[in-house]
Amino acid sequence: MTEASNVELKIWRGDAKGGELVAYRVPVREGMVVLDAVLWVQANMASDLAVRWNCKAAKCGSCSAEINGYPRLMCKTAITEYGQQVTVRPMKAFPLIKDLVTDVSWNYEVNKQIPLFTPSEKDMSSSEPWRMQPNDVDRVMEFRKCIECFLCQDVCHVLRAHDLKSAFYGPRFMVRIASLEMHPKDVLDRRPLLKGKAGVGYCNVTKCCTEVCPEHIHITDNAIIPLKERMDDAYFDPLRSLLRMFGGEQKPGH
């Protein structure tokens, strides 16, 4: 074991009415992550320090915060990564409840608006187990890795800077819709949703979400851009518009 050293950990303390950064000196143990340090402060210096965490192994996505300004999971960030001074703030894109805990309930409301996985009648009524080739499911596997830490939502400027939660579902739910749309057995057309309430058009492909994803999901390249293409294909393809004009093709979603 190396000699114990200290780190100055500044944690944002307060609620919706206001607050401040409070500094704590934390003895560093080998292999300590930011979450360990925060929990050490809670057990030894500030018993009412509010923080969410569960698995402590980057599998549940509970301990999201902004560490030295960067949206990360506290359980996956070594305390030594930022030297002697570490500042932890709550996610900024969501209303604050207390200290490091924010109100992320909006995300759960959005999820309810996305129609469930919908297989065909034939598949549903078949008594045989489904056959799907590994190649056919590989594509959605990536999206299903999402641990709902909401860091992508936090960093998305449409939600963070412009607070357009009423117009855009955010990267997490683009990933969710992609996982349904690209599922080999799903038959529902979610393009009207993408164009309408989900607002995929709001994303202008800055890839910030991809950069912060702890599961390394290629959110922009593999989920959002293909979804944009699907929607464009249905609504903004000039040839198809012409066809529709002459009644040759129906609008999507009908």
Partner 1 sequence: MSVAPSYETVETDVLVLGAGGAGLRAAIAAADAGARVLVVCKSLLGKAHTVMAEGGVAAAMHNVAYQDSWEVHFADTMKGGKLINDWRMAELHAKESPERVLELERWGAVFDRTWQGRIHQRPFGAHTYPRLAHIGDRTGLELIRTLQDRAVHTKGVDVHMEVTVFKLLKEGGRAAGALAYRRADGSLVLYSCGALILASGGAGKMYRVTSNSWESTGDGTALAYDAGAQLRDMEMVQFHPTGMVWPAGVRGILVTEGVRGEGGVLRNKEGERFMERYDKERMELSSRDVVARAINSEVLAGRGTPHGGAYLDITHRKPEFIKSKLPSMYEQFLKLANVDITKQPMEVAPTIHYAMGGVRVEAETGATTLLGLYAAGEVASGLHGANRLGGNSLSDLLVFGKRAGDAAGAFVKARPTATRTTIDQAEIDAAIAELMAPLDHTAGESPYPLQAEIQDVMSKHAPIVRDGPELEAGLEKILELGARARSCGTGGSNTLAFNPGWHTAQDLHSLLVNAEALLRSALERKESRGAHARSDHPRTEEDLATVNYVVEKTDDRMRVRAERQPPMPAHLAEVLQQSHARYTPEATE
Q: Which of 28, 100, 95 is nearest to 63 (CA)?
A: 100
Distance CA 102, CA 92 (A): 8
Residues 193-232 within binding reach of partner 1 (CB under 8 A)? none
Would you say 214 and 72 are in contact if contact means Cβ atoms under 8 Å apart?
yes
Of 130 and 246, CB closest to partner 1? 130
**147 contributes a contact to partner 1 by CB under 8 A:** yes
Q: How far is the CB of 31 from partner 1 (least distance, A)?
A: 2
Q: Which of 103, 86, 83 is nearest to 94 (CA)?
A: 103
- Point out which span in 5-13, 58-66, 220-228, 241-249 binds partner 1 (CB under 8 A): 58-66
Chain-centre distance for alpha carbon 158: 13
Distance CA 71, CA 65 (A): 6
Dihedral pair phi/psi, residue 130, rounded to 5°: -70, 150
Distance CA 73, CA 215 (A): 11
Distance CA 71, CA 90 (A): 9
Contact flags string 152-191 toward partner 1, x per CB under 8 A: ----------------------------x--x--x-----
Of 123 and 221, CB closest to partner 1? 123
Q: How far is the CB of 253 from partner 1 (least distance, A)?
A: 19
Work out which of 26, 93, 140, 203 binds partner 1, going by CB under 8 A.
Answer: 140
- Point out which span in 119-127, 152-160, 166-174, 246-254 binds partner 1 (CB under 8 A): 119-127
Q: How many residues bind partner 1 (CB under 8 A)?
A: 58
- Point out which span in 50-58, 85-93, 188-196, 240-248 binds partner 1 (CB under 8 A): 50-58
Identify the burial level of 213 via C-beta atoms within 10 angstroms of its C-beta, where 0-12 means exposed, 13-18 middle and 19 or more buried. Answer: buried
Work out which of 3, 4, 31, 121 binds partner 1, going by CB under 8 A.
Answer: 31
Residues ≥6 apart with Cβ < 8 Å to 126: none
Of 113 and 206, CB closest to partner 1? 113
Interaxial angle between packed helices 134-143 and 171-181, expressed in degrees from 0 to 180 and rounded to the nearest 10: 160
- Point out which span in 59-67, 203-211, 227-235, 239-247 binds partner 1 (CB under 8 A): 59-67
Would you say 88 and 36 are in contact if contact means Cβ atoms under 8 Å apart?
no
Contact residues: partner 1, CB under 8 A: 15, 29-33, 36, 42-44, 47-62, 76, 97-99, 101, 104-105, 108, 111-112, 116-117, 119, 123-124, 129-134, 137, 140-141, 144-148, 180, 183, 186
